Amino acid sequence: MRILLAVGLLAILPACGGSNPANPGNPGPSAQPTPTPAPTPTPNPFAAACGSPLPSFADSYGFGTKVQLQPTRNKLILNTQPQIRNATYCTSVGIPGLICNTRREDDPSRVPCDHYMSGISDTGRPGPNWFQEVNGVLLKCGGVGGVPAEAPDCRLKEENQYLLDVTAGGQFVACGGTGAPETCGGCLLDQSLFGRFNPTTAGLCQQS
């Protein structure tokens, strides 16, 4: 009689919710890792200072370079500025035409607009990187901010990244820096311009 009672109790235990090692049941849901939020992009301070209308990188047309002045017989100073190719934009900033500067010369937002389109140069200053083309290779115009002076006939200006000292004829190129379109603009200077004073700087820089 005792053996039969024990067998009966063993048969009843699983039905009453007793533990079954062979079938432990479904575990609870596992905790999911919290996704790392994406960093908030840092706004471009030059874009904010430039304001509206903001020139589009897609409309970047390189750089327009001219001879600013000739301080000595054997030195010319180049000056460059980013160019925008968009007739609607040009009209909106008061410079009608297909290609224009970012703003008029007397517009206080001209400087930050130029910085926005030029990016940050290798010197760490806003403005383009300068090169001299020698045998088909672009060599850096340096001498400021730790940039090596690779090119033989050009040197950066201490006071302004948009200016360049040139001491011989050749092809000189300004290109957008970090954070700006990878567009360039060149100026071809004839060697005959050096060794004498030129009556005017107009037309000395041939665009290329």
User: pLDDT of 170-179, one tens digit each?
Assistant: 999 999 999 9
Q: What's the pLDDT at 13?
A: 42
Instruction: Record the tokens describing residue 165, joined without a space.
Output: 């000292």
pLDDT digits (tens, 9 = 90+) for 76-115: 999 999 999 999 999 999 999 999 999 999 999 999 999 9
Is the CA virtual torsion 97, 111, 83, 154 positive or negative?
Answer: positive
The reply to whether omega before 53 is within 30° of 0 (cis) is yes
Three-state secondary structure of 14-56: HHHCCCCCCCCCCCCCCCCCCCCCCCCCCCCHHHHHHCCCCCC
pLDDT above 90 coverage of the chain, percent = 76
**Can you give the pLDDT at residue 206?**
85
pTM, to two decimals: 0.80
Amino acid at 9: L
- DSSP class of residue 144 equals S
Q: Does 163 have pLDDT greater than 90?
A: yes
Q: Please provide the DSSP assignment of 169-193 as one string.
A: -EEEEEE--BTS---EEEEEE-GGG
Q: Residue 7: pLDDT band by 50, 70, 90 thresholds?
A: very low
**Banded model confidence at residue 5, pLDDT cuts 50, 70, 90:** very low
pLDDT digits (tens, 9 = 90+) for 121-138: 999 999 999 999 999 999
Burial of 90 (0-12, 13-18, 19+ CB in 10 A): buried
